[in-house]
Amino acid sequence: MPKSFKDTTDNLRNILDDLDKKREYEFHFNSATGADITSRFGDVENIQYHNDESLTVTCIDGKRKGVASTNNLSSESIKLTIEKSQSIASFLESDKYQGLASNNLINQLDIDCGIYFPKEFTTEQLIDLTIECEKTALNYDKRINNSEGSEYGYSQSNNLLLNSHGAAGSYSSTSYTLSCVVIAEEKGLKERDYAYTTRRNFERTDNAKSIGELSAKKVISRLGAKSVSTRKCPIILTPELSVGLFSSFLSAINGNNIYKKNSFLSNYLNKKVFANHINIFEKPNIEEGLGTKPFDGEGVVTYEKPIIESGVLSTFMLDTYSANHLNSKSTGNSGYTNIIIESSNTLNNDIVSSINDGILVTEMMGSGANILTGDYSRGAFGYLIEKGKITHPITNFTIASNMIDMFSNIIELGSDYYENSKVKCGSVLIDNMTVGGN
Amino acid sequence: MNIIKEHIFPNNHLGIDKIESIVSESSGSSIDLSDLYIQYTTVESWSCEDGIVKNGSQHIDSGYGIRAISNEKTGFSYGNNFDFDEIIKAAKLSKSIVKSNISQSLNLKEYTDFKKLYISESPLTSVSDNSKVDFLKEMNRYIKNKDKRVQQVIINLSASHDSVFVANSLGTYSFDDRPLVRFNVMVILKSGDRVERGSAGGGGRYSYVNLLETKRPFELADEAIRIADVNLSSKPCKAGNTTVVLGSGWPGVLLHEAVGHGLEGDFNRKKTSNFSDLIGQSVASELCTVIDDGTISDRRGSLSIDDEGTPTAKNTLIENGVLKGYMQDLMNAKLMNVKPTGNGRRESYAHLPMPRMTNTYMLGGSSNAEEIIDSVKDGIYAVNFSGGQVDITSGQFVFTASEAYKIESGKIKNSIKGMTLIGNGPDVLKKVSMVADDMKLDDGVGTCGKEGQSVPVGVGQPTLKIDDITVGGTEV
């Protein structure tokens, strides 16, 4: 743990100890340092150095909750922030469900959870990586004639949570990300695509050449896209897009959407949501996991649990407030950690060859996933599959269904697990989607 | 009151002489432009849910960002410790992007000769915290009494006050104070087995008084209930190509996505936009004239000066279908050898400026809305959208409607649900076949995201007809 973080921790613990005992408080402190470096056409374009910190104070006065935050950690500013949280609470109305987390609280500072891999760099080293990455992409094919560059970003973050009920937890983490965005042109039509890698540990990031090459392959394969006729057919979502679909599911079982009846899954606890072969778990303690967290946003210890068992929803994801509303207990889900999607119908070979006619969707656009009704309607880019083979790229179409139907129409998953997200899953094959085109 | 001038400068012993030293330190022989941006922002939010005014928060963020530009390169560093030596260190770090040892010695002059488009005072203190809570309670009662089918109401009132200071190596510095107020209502109605949502909101750069002491919040509440009610009887939408009539006002978000982003200077300098190198050419139907105007008083997307100190302007982007110009910040204007247009914006001191929209709208035409609907045999009338996205390279855009209707034989019929519009910006603009005379700006709720930075914007347009566009839905 960096020394300045230790000093801040000691200081905030002392301040919390000295505060009045008739109200309750939660302190959440975050700090991060890092840099982003972009190169374009073989030369460095941007260097940005980051240095952020912020303190959020929550005050519970009776059953009233006030929140105030500041990015200035001077004693005077911390004092004013605490006073503001008290003042806001005093104006609000009483809400019987309000309260700080009080069960299963973290009580360990400087936790080593396997996500902190600090590394010293020179700026030149990172510039060289971005140049190598972009160069590989630009040299891949003559049709790649423009670039938005390659970017390397790293950050070291520290996270501290304290509350009046005795929660005290902190940990540090690192992340390293390399990306490349290139543009290809054919017959006057331009396409863009990208590739990236993000890891906790610098040593585990995909190498610069492979990211450059992947971005190049992706953009070239988009050239010459045709339109597609309106139809109902099976679609395959790439692992990256599957993450988005499962994220909508996670949002729909978030306790705050459940108690407000703001979710199409409000009445689905212990009922079937997915096809039988689907199992979903939360695993908070994976070494180097992008979602790994020893405690949640309120200081409740996170724990491993099934979410979907043989297609059936076994739990909502609750924080203290939504748990109080639902007469239940926090599941350590003020936020979520690593989510693993598994299926007994997992294909190890190419998922495309498992269907006759359909569409491989590689990009979706727009915000058409409605958590209230489950209605799903989004713009897409992809590839037409005929007789188990990809024939050509297709553009300017939409895919639509309802998420309830989509979840139960999942036929199989690929084993091509996506490593760049805290939601870990492979490609998903979904039957009977409506494709809107010409 | 500008908090930077009144508090940050005196408390940290920063006089203009010190500011001159900082900007001088970040400038030099191979630096084309350097600037120092200081910001102090206070944001508050109050909300009522489940009939209880239960959430209140205030956030204060302050800091400085220092940038050095050399040709196409930018070095950038920021921090929140206003100690002079710390800022000098940041200036050196920013300048380290190029090897340039000779610093300039600059004299800065205050630039004040711009039109103030809004009040300087903080909206947060324009009414008491008690009145904000009472207002939310009253709105909640109003909505609950208005319709028995109301299952959930969320009402939010928020405001921010942004004090900014910008000084650059061109020799000037300026102060600006930016108020921003916003009110939002979301209702969920339940009828039988169906639940549907309706939202509405409004706001601008003014005091809470301009909103709270008017009928506007009640009108917005009625509007949210109306939209949810319309959606309760909505039917699935048929996928395929059809004629679409877009309503006036907020549907201008389509213009923002489909055209606006592609006309931002950075994308055109890098030639990654599908509008690159098309100045003087026809990019839209002759009926289309598109403006970006940052100078409208009190509007959410307006700024007296942009985040680089350039006064905002009323810029014509497309005139009668012909591309006239791009939106520029200082860096891209210099590299493209054109004048800056007052579109250099940034989310905060911790972000780099780039060309961004302000209030973007299409001018009215000569048709009227009724005759446009009348002219459609079979199509869709889309009145509200919940969001959109664009790929500026291919021009591909996507929008999701939150209120839309079927049109049959010139008559508006049942409402439809889950409708997505997909198209290509320039293609679609060429298919605009009728434009009405009812140009309207939106209610003041737009937020635009680009490269991870959010800024408040405005949109607007008249009712218009697009002849052939792809619509997504669940029916075949």
B3-232: what fold?
A: PmbA/TldD fold (3.30.2290)
Residue A434: name the closest of A403, A407, A398, A383 by CA. Answer: A398
Distance between CA B331 and CA B450 in Å, rounded?
A: 17
| Unique residue bearing structure tokens 């017959």 | A187
Give the CA diameter of chain A: 72
Give yes or no for residue B327 having a pLDDT over 80: yes
Domain boundary among A222, A245, A270: A222
Do both A189 and A235 map to the same domain?
Answer: no
Instruction: Please state, in angstroms and rounded to a whole number, the distance separating the CA atoms of residues B150 and B191.
Output: 9
Contact between chains at B152 and A261 (C-beta distance less than 8 A): yes
Quick one: A151 and A192 in the same domain? Answer: yes
Give the whole-angstrom CA distance, residue A58 versus residue A99: 10
Substitution target from B55, B189, B398 for chain A, most A beta carbons within 10 A: B398
Same domain, A115 and A151: yes
Q: How confident is the model at residue B28 (pLDDT cuts 50, 70, 90)?
A: confident
Give the DSSP per-residue string, A412-433. Answer: EEES----SSSEE---EEEEEE
- Whether A334 has a pLDDT exceeding 90, the answer reads yes
What is the pLDDT at residue B100? 67
In A62-118, beta strands by DSSP E: 64-70, 107-111
- Residues 260-299 on A with a CB inside 8 Å of B are 260-262
Q: Do the Cβ atoms of B272 and A148 come within 8 Å?
A: yes
pLDDT digits (tens, 9 = 90+) for A153-207: 999 999 999 999 999 999 999 999 999 999 999 998 899 999 999 999 999 999 9
Of A6-20, A375-389, B96-110, B168-182, the poorest mean pLDDT is in B96-110
Asked if residue A108 lies in contact with residue A169, where contact means CB atoms within 8 angstroms, the answer is yes
Judge whether residue A371 has pLDDT over 70.
Answer: yes
Q: What is the predicted pLDDT for the residue at A354?
A: 87
Mean pLDDT value across chain B: 95
The pLDDT of residue B388: 80
Question: Would the CA dihedral through A306, A309, A314, A315 be positive or negative?
Answer: positive
Take residue B210 and report the two structure tokens written for it: 């301009």
The pLDDT of residue B274 is 87
* Cα B150 from Cα A13, distance rounded (Å): 45
Most distant CA atoms of chain B, gap in Å: 75
Identity (one letter) of the amino acid at B147? D
The pLDDT tens digits of the residues spanning B447-460 come to 999 999 999 999 99
Count CB atoms within 10 A of the CB of residue B152: 18
Residues 87-106 of B with CB under 8 A from A: 90, 93, 96-97
* Count of all residues that appear for chain B in the document: 476
Which run of H or E residues covers position B331? Answer: helix B330-336
Task: Quote the CA–CA distance of B400 and B237 in Å, as a whole number.
Answer: 12
Each residue's pLDDT tens digit, B103-154: 778 999 999 999 999 999 999 999 999 999 999 999 999 999 999 999 999 9
Give the per-residue pLDDT at A143: 97
Mapping DSSP to helix (H, G, I), strand (E, B) and coil, where does residue B402 land?
strand
Q: Which residue of A has its CA nearest to B254?
A: A366
Domain residue spans in chain B? 3-232, 236-472
- Write the pLDDT tens digit of every residue in B228-257: 999 999 999 888 999 999 999 999 998 998
pLDDT digits (tens, 9 = 90+) for B372-388: 999 999 999 999 998 78
Span of A396-410, B164-178, B393-407 with lowest mean pLDDT? B393-407
Question: What tokens were used for A94?
Answer: 């009483």
Tell me how far CA of residue A392 lies from CA of A181, A420, B340, in angstroms: 22, 27, 43
**Distance of CA A342 to CAs A265, A308, A345, A415, B248, Å?**
20, 10, 9, 9, 47
pLDDT in the model for residue B184: 97
Q: What is the percentage of chain B residues whose pLDDT exceeds 70? A: 100
B429 close to B284: Cβ distance less than 8 angstroms: yes
Q: What average pLDDT score do residues B9-37 get?
A: 94
Q: Is the pLDDT of residue A105 over 70?
A: yes
Taking residues B27-37, report their average pLDDT.
Answer: 93
- What is the average pLDDT across A135-157? 97
Specify the pLDDT at position A438. 82
**Cα separation, B426 vs B260, whole angstroms:** 11
Secondary structure of residue B229 in the 3-state scheme: helix
Residues A365 and A411 in one domain: yes
| Domain CATH code at residue A78 | 3.30.2290.10
Q: What residues of A are in contact with residue B130 (Cβ under 8 Å)?
A: 91
pLDDT for B101 equals 65
Evaluate if residue A413 carries a pLDDT over 80.
yes
Do residues A54 and A156 both lie within one domain?
yes
pLDDT value of residue B476: 80
**Spatial separation of the C-alpha atoms in residues B385 and B442, rounded to whole Å:** 12
CB A358 within 8 A of CB A234: yes
Give the pLDDT band (50/70/90) at residue A374.
very high
ipTM: 0.91
Question: Span A210-217, mean pLDDT?
Answer: 98
Rounded to the nearest angstrom, the minimum Cα separation between A403 and chain B is 12
Q: Both A243 and A185 in a single domain?
A: no
Confidence of residue B99 (pLDDT cuts 50, 70, 90): confident
pLDDT of residue B105: 86
What's the domain range around A320?
225-438
Phi/psi of residue B464, nearest 5 degrees = -150, 160
Q: Count the alpha carbons within 13 Å of A149 in the hemisphere toward its beta carbon.
A: 20
Domain shared by A177 and A243, yes or no? no
User: Are residues A117 and A184 both part of a single domain?
Assistant: yes
What is the Cα Rg of chain A in Å? 24
| Joined tokens for residue A373 | 């009704």
Are A218 and A232 members of one domain? no
Query: What's the number of domains chain A is made of?
Result: 2
Interface mutation vs chain B, best among A64, A76, A124, A365, most B CBs within 10 Å: A365
> Can you give the pTM of this predicted structure?
0.93
